[in-house]
Amino acid sequence: MLVLGVETSCDETAAAVLDSPRNLISNVIHSQLIHEKYGGVVPELASREHVKRLIGIVDEALDKGGRKLENIDAFAVTYGPGLVGALLVGLTFIKSIAHATGKPFIGVNHLEGHIFSNFLQSENCSPPFIALIVSGGHANLVHVKNWGDYKLLGKTRDDAPGEAFDKVAKVLGLGYPGGPAIQQAAESGDRKFFKFPRAYMGKDSYEFSFSGLKTAVAVYLRDKSDDYIKANLKDICASFQEAVCEVLAVKALTACEKLGVDKLSVGGGVAMNKRLREVVQSRAKNIEIFFPGPGLCTDNAAMIAAAGAYYLERGVTSKLGLNAVPYLGI
């Protein structure tokens, strides 16, 4: 089955062609640089950029895969969670094509897409496993009992880790997006320079909170001179990054141990962070770890196509009345 996937939940316009289950023929992602000068995603601008770019991105995905629209058997598209205007662009586009061609489509939960990201790379990434989904908008810990059978163990109560990276980077004058900038600065920094707080939310909690950490960095910097910050920038970034990575690693691996699961799959934009990968790998004992490649970490359509193909092959489809659900849970 050839599936065309489309993802427009936030600030990436993406399309992919998948020969299910794992033969990824093309995966095209356009990141919207227009948001850099605002220090964060502007929803209205994101929606407009999707409108401008989506047809061209889909055409590029088809061309790179050597396929035409008539070769596609079915369609998959993100319908939530995300920015409602952005979601509607992709959803309306795919519903229109499905209606015009008479071919089936399915709306995919963006979070479930991230769970399928490592499925595309490894046959060993099979349930049961624990999925840690970490990005600019999400921090979710999920027990994947089987494909389509999930139990949410915990999620962020406030800021997502990627959001915390962005806000701390802004305070430090590093620009947007904050994750890559802080990672680069932290590479030669002292991770023990300052002990920023780790919010574990209780001994048995799988919940996350990064708002306090972000505030702690701001409070720490409040009485520091520009010269001090400049001189110690690498160390501050390394100390902050370590606090984020430790909490994510500890909670995810604790979930594996307590639930008797020997596999951990990490997905989402923050999964690209080198230090997070190091911390998880170094702390894991008898647990197999899965991280997606760069093109499958950020919001992408390949993971949407993979999740969609799983359901489409089982005869599960969506109706044209499907609407965008901005706060969709797992």
d(CA 168, CA 177): 11
Task: Find all residues with CB under 8 Å of 161, minimum gap 6, and list them.
Answer: 134, 135, 139, 208, 210, 244, 248, 270
pLDDT band of 37, cuts 50, 70, 90: confident
Nearest residue to 113 (alpha-carbon basis) of 324, 328, 308: 308
150 forms beta bridges with: 144
CA distances from 322 to 76, 136, 223 (A): 12, 26, 52
* Residue 201: half-sphere exposure toward Cβ, Cα within 13 Å: 19
d(CA 271, CA 250): 15
Three-state DSSP class for 201?
coil
168: number of Cβ within 10 Å: 27
Say whether pLDDT at 202 is over 90.
no
196: number of Cβ within 10 Å: 20
Where would I find the beta strands (DSSP E) of 20-104? 23-31, 74-80
Of the chain, the percentage scoring pLDDT greater than 70 comes to 100
pLDDT in tens, 227-275: 999 999 999 999 999 999 999 999 999 999 999 999 999 999 999 999 9
Task: Find all residues with CB under 8 Å of 12, minimum gap 6, and list them.
Answer: 29, 30, 31, 32, 298, 299, 300
* Average pLDDT value for residue range 160-187: 95
pLDDT band of 136, cuts 50, 70, 90: confident
What's 141's DSSP letter? E
Say whether pLDDT at 36 is over 90.
no
Task: Find all residues with CB under 8 Å of 35, minimum gap 6, and list them.
Answer: 11, 41, 42, 45, 46, 176
Q: Which domains does the chain have, with CATH numbers?
A: 2-115+297-312 (3.30.420.40), 127-291 (3.30.420.40)
